Homo-oligomer: A and B are copies of this chain.
Amino acid sequence: MSRSRFRFDLLRAENSEALGHRARLGRLTTPHGVVQTPAFMPVGTQATVKGLTIDQVHSTGAEILLGNTYHLALRPGSELIAALGGLHQFMGWTGPILTDSGGFQLFSLAQNSKVTDEGAVFRSHIDGSLMQLTPEDAVRIQEELGSDIAMVLDHVIGLPSPPEKIRDAVARTIRWADRCRAAARRPEQTLFAITQGGLDCDLRLACTEKLVALDFAGYAIGGLSVGEPPEEMYRVLDATVPALPAERPRYLMGVGRPQDLVEGIARGIDMFDCVMPTRNARNALAFTRQGPVRLRNLKHARDPRPLEEDCPCPACRHSRAYLRHLFLAREMLGPTLLTLHNLTYYQRLMAAARAAIAAGEFETWRQAQHRDWAGSARDPTDSTADDTASGPESSDS
């Protein structure tokens, strides 16, 4: 597989332990354009970022989108998308696209999923029909979709799980990664591996080393943010990331809260995706520098202020009172405006992180962010305590 049209340039990386972080600034070059890292990828599960036109997605500052192989294979089918010119043409997004492999949805969404060494057999969550997904299928479907970055099929399991089950899933994930690499045919597409291993740092490290030996263009850390405390996730990152080659991009899958992005960046992660900004938007929860704002709350009924004074998004041209009215009246524009705001917030957070890294001031910036969020947590009516209610996931349904 040629990687001539794919390149990752590390522009700045802090390796000194004294700094207390490993944040890095990079640039990912793909056949459909350049992505500045650290980057957040909005989730476009069914060939659309829910509720937004392509122009609106662009307006949030997003440079790369995530598409879901499992969903698109089921409906409308990768063959149809290929016949219509591929996923970029189909959804009208001219920038880079990363597709996941369906591994997470086999775990979270498919019915009666049975995993063997050959692959997974499951029933569609749409119509109950019997489907199969092998590593070779996952590669073929992603090649039909024509994404810039494809992911290997991994075996995702719930946490906590017995050690034997985790070891088994890790071994299978490594064998499947090798099969995916062997199956890949498209020179315009790059394949990333996915490390697994639950919260067992030794197992994570062993999995990572085996995948690194197979030499992938990028590495993802999967199977996290599935219910464990954030500190457990950070511990796994601390153990895993240093084993990844510095010159390859690192992607933390399905994460997460703004705090998790900042802590992921601090641990050397370059790429993120999560449904939190989009799914929470549809549930009337807005992310702001001062923490989450629940717009259904009565206290916003007459509030003339925007969500954020300096935010350039279309939602912030309106009052909180208007946004609240839209949700109480069940108007589509409520979810649309809040999706625009939340994605803009996430992209502004990433841009601020990149600027801080570039200026050598990441640690100061990181602490300031946490101070702002901690301040907001003291307001009992807009507590951050349950802002993960809808949970980080890898597809937005």
Residues of A within 8 A of B (CB): 46-48, 50-56, 75-76, 80, 83-85, 90-92, 301-302, 304, 314, 317-319, 321-322, 325-326, 328-329, 331-333, 335-337, 340
User: Which single residue of chain B is at the shortest CB-CB distance from A90?
Assistant: B322
User: Which single residue of chain B is at the shortest CB-CB distance from A55?
Assistant: B314
- How far apart are the CA atoms of A48 and B26 in the complex, in Å? 41
Separation in Å of the A227 CB from the closest CB of chain B?
Answer: 28
In the complex, what residues of B have CB within 8 A of residue A336's CB? 51, 53, 332, 336
User: Which single residue of chain B is at the shortest CB-CB distance from A89?
Assistant: B319
Separation in Å of the A169 CB from the closest CB of chain B?
Answer: 30
Known A53-B336, A76-B301, A84-B322; 12 more pairs at CB < 8 Å: A46-B329, A47-B322, A50-B331, A51-B336, A53-B56, A75-B329, A76-B321, A76-B329, A84-B319, A84-B321, A90-B322, A90-B325
- How far apart are the CA atoms of A54 and B317 in the complex, in Å? 10
20 residue pairs A–B, Cβ–Cβ below 8 Å: A46-B325, A46-B329, A46-B331, A50-B332, A51-B336, A53-B56, A53-B314, A54-B317, A75-B325, A75-B328, A76-B301, A76-B325, A76-B328, A84-B319, A84-B322, A85-B304, A91-B318, A92-B317, A332-B332, A332-B335
User: Which single residue of chain B is at the shortest CB-CB distance from A304?
Assistant: B84
Copies of this chain in its oligomeric complex: 2
Separation in Å of the A129 CB from the closest CB of chain B?
Answer: 15
Separation in Å of the A283 CB from the closest CB of chain B?
Answer: 14
The answer on a CB contact under 8 Å between A92 and B55 is: no
Known: A47-B322, A331-B46. A314 touches B84 (CB 8 A): no
User: Which single residue of chain B is at the shortest CB-CB distance from A75?
Assistant: B329
- How far apart are the CA atoms of A336 and B3 in the complex, in Å? 38
